[in-house]
Amino acid sequence: MTVKSAAVLVGLIFIVVGILGYVDNPIVGDSPDAIFHADSTHNMVHIISGAVFLLIAILAPSLTRTFMIIFGLVYLGLGIMGMVNTGEGGMVELLGFLHVNNADNYLHIGLGVVILLLALTTQRRTDVQRQY
Q: What is the pLDDT of residues 19-29, one digit of tens each?
A: 999 999 999 98
In a domain, 126, yes or no: no
Question: What pLDDT is attached to residue 128?
Answer: 46
In a domain, 64, yes or no: yes
In a domain, 27, yes or no: yes
Domain count, the chain: 1
In a domain, 86, yes or no: yes
Determine the structural domain holding residue 72 and report its residue range.
3-121
Rounded to an integer, what distance in angstroms lies between the CA atom of residue 59 and that of residue 106?
31
Q: For the whole model, what pTM was predicted?
A: 0.86
Query: From start to end of 13-118, where are the E strands?
Result: 28-29, 36-37, 92-94, 98-100
In a domain, 131, yes or no: no
In a domain, 129, yes or no: no
In a domain, 127, yes or no: no
Q: What are phi and psi of 87, to 5 degrees?
A: -100, -160
**Which of 13-22, 58-67, 97-106, 111-120 is the least confident region?**
97-106
In a domain, 47, yes or no: yes
